[in-house]
Amino acid sequence: MNTKQDIKRDLEERILSKRQQIEFDRKNLSLETEFSQENRENPEVMEEAKNYDDPTESVLETDEVKALRTAENDLNELMKQLQEFNKG
């Protein structure tokens, strides 16, 4: 049977782990955007010029962005659980 301290510690560890995962994923997405093939093309190319100011999400694979959003939502849920636990 878990004590309140065990439950709290588990939530805190899961939050820390999720934060690390999100930080890692964000860094990878940032590097992928910075070094993506589209960014190495000649900016004078019409297609490149047309997409030059597009937001990051449109350049990256949507699965990666979705996974990051899911991880962020998971983190928010864990934070809410910890807040509720601390209130009770």
pLDDT tens digits for range 6-44: 999 999 999 999 999 999 999 988 887 777 665 555 555
- Cβ-contact 48, 41 below 8 angstroms: yes
User: Where do the structural domains in the chain lie, given as residue ranges?
Assistant: 12-87
Tokens 């962005």 correspond to what residue? 65
63-86 pLDDT, tens digit each: 888 889 999 999 999 999 999 999
What is the CB-side half-sphere exposure of residue 88 using CA atoms within 13 A? 10
In three-state form (DSSP H/G/I as H, E/B as E, the rest C), the secondary structure along the chain is CCCHHHHHHHHHHHHHHHHHHHHHHHHHHHHHHHCCHHHHCCCCCHHHHHHCCCCHHHHCCHHHHHHHHHHHHHHHHHHHHHHHHHHC
Model pTM score: 0.67
